[in-house]
Chains A and B, each alone.
Chain A
Amino acid sequence: MNERARRLLRIADDELIVGWRDSEWTGIAPTLEEDVAFSSIAQNEIGHARALYELAATELGTDADALAFDREPAEYLCAPLVELHLMDWAHTIARRFLYEEADRVRLDALKDGDDVELAGLAAKIDREETYHRLHAEMWAGRLRDEPRYRTAVEELWPYALGVLEPEQRPELARRTGLPLDSTQVVPRGQHTPELAELWAEMTEVRRSAPGATW
C-alpha cells in the first residue's frame, strides 16, 4: 500500500470509528438535545470517512464500503483514542474535545499541504468540524471545574497525542495547554481489545450476507 493510501486510511478509520462510538449515544444520551447532537455528529464523521475512503479506494482499486467493512480489525489504522468504549459522559465529552482539537491540528496541516485533492476535502471537512468543536467547547466550558471531567481529560490525553504524528504533537499541547514532555503517548499502531468488539458489531450485517446488493 502506498503512503498516500495509508495516510488517507489513518484519517478515514479515525473518523469512521469515532463516528461509530458517537452513534452509541443515539437514543440514550442524557438529554434529547444531546441525542440529536451526537447522532448528527456521528453522521458527519461517518460522512467524512466515506469521502476519505473514496479517495483511498481510487488508489487501491476497491470501493469505500470494502475499505470500511471488509478488512480485519488488525488492518484498521485508527488511533486507540477512538476505539475506547466510553459510556461515561465525562469521558465521552473529554474524548470529543480532545479528538476535535487533534483533528484540527491535522486538518490545518492537510489544508496547507501539497496534495491538492486532499487539501480541498480537508477544507470541506473542517467547515463541518467547526460545529463539532463548538459543541465540544460548550461542554468543556460547562464541565471545566468538575473533578470527574478533569480526571477524564488527564486519562485520555496520552491517547489524544497518539492521534497525531510526533511532529504535530507540540502544537496540540500548545493549543490545549496540556503537558507534552511528561506524557507517555499511546500511539497509533496498536489496537485496544475494544476495537475487535466494535468491529464484530459494526460489520455483522454485512458479513451475514456477503456480496449482497442493498
Chain B
Amino acid sequence: MGGDDRGAPLGAGRDVVTEDAVWAALDEIPDPEIPVISLVDLGVVRDVAVDGARVRIEFTPTFLGCPALEVMRRAMEEKVVALGGEPDVAVIQDDSWSTDRISPAGREKLRDAGLAPPTPRAAGATTLLQLQSRAFRCPYCGSTETRLENIFGPTPCRSIRWCESCRQPFEQFKTI
C-alpha cells in the first residue's frame, strides 16, 4: 500500500522507528465505520514525520462531524506506542482531504463491500442535476440505471441510491 515518496532518509540512526514502519502500522487500522478500508487507503493520513522518539501524524477528518474521529486518533496513537514511539497526532481542519485521496485499492475495496466509490471532485460545486443524473454505477450489477434516493445516508459521507436494473438500494460515497 506504500507510496513511493513516503520513506524519508534515516537520520543519524537515533529515530526509534522508520516512517515506512509507521505508514505500514497505520495501514492496519480499519476505518471504524467502513472497516473494509484502512485509514491509509481512505487518504486521511496526510503526513508522517519521525524525529527521535516523536512520531508526528497529520490527520485530516473526512467530515467534521464524523463521530469516529476520536476513535481513529486513539487507534493511531496506540499503533505508535506499540512501535516504541511517542505519538503526536495533529488533526488538520482544512480542505486538504478530498474523496479523490482514496487510493485505487481503497476504491476497489469499497466497491467489493457494496459501497459505490465517489466520483471525482469537479471544478465547481456538485449540483442537484448531477446527483439526479445517471452517472452513478451500481456496485452490485454495474448498471448506471440508478437514481438518487436520499442525499444523506447512514453516515455523513454516504448517499442512498436505487438501482433500477437489479432493483435494490445501495450506498454511494459522497464526493467531497
Contacts and interface: CB of A to CB of B under 8 A. Distances in A.
A57 interface: no
A120 B95 contact: yes
Given A44-B64, A134-B126, 5 more contacts: A37-B150, A47-B63, A120-B95, A123-B95, A128-B156
Interface in B143-176: 149-156, 160, 174, 176
Nearest to A36: B152
Interface residues of A, number: 30
B93 A54 contact: yes
Contact of B95 (A41, A43, A124): A124
B66 A120 contact: no
A131 B150 CA distance: 11
Contacts of B95: 120, 123-124, 127
Interface string A30-43: 00010011011101
Contacts of B149: 33
A36 B150 contact: yes
Nearest to B60: A124
A44 B63 contact: yes
B125 interface: yes
A50 interface: yes
Interface residues of B, number: 26
A135 B63 CA distance: 17
Contacts of B152: 36-37, 39-41, 131, 135
A137 B148 CA distance: 15
Contact of A40 (B125, B128, B131, B153): B153
Interface in A131-161: 131, 134-135, 137-138
8 smallest CB-CB distances across A and B, nearest first, come from A47-B65, A120-B94, A123-B95, A47-B64, A40-B152, A37-B152, A43-B65, A33-B150
B64 A51 contact: yes
A192 B153 CA distance: 33
A128 B64 contact: yes
A130 interface: yes
Contact of B93 (A120, A135, A137): A120
A130 B64 contact: no
B139 to A, nearest CB: 20
Interface in A105-125: 117, 120-121, 123-125
A48 interface: yes
A92 to B, nearest CB: 15
B136 to A, nearest CB: 15
A18 interface: no
Interface in A74-129: 117, 120-121, 123-125, 127-128
Contacts of A138: 128, 151
Contacts of B64: 44, 47-48, 50-51, 124-125, 128
Interface in A5-51: 33, 36-37, 39-41, 43-48, 50-51
A135 B125 CA distance: 14
A126 B24 CA distance: 33
Interface string B64-78: 111100000000000
A130 B65 contact: no
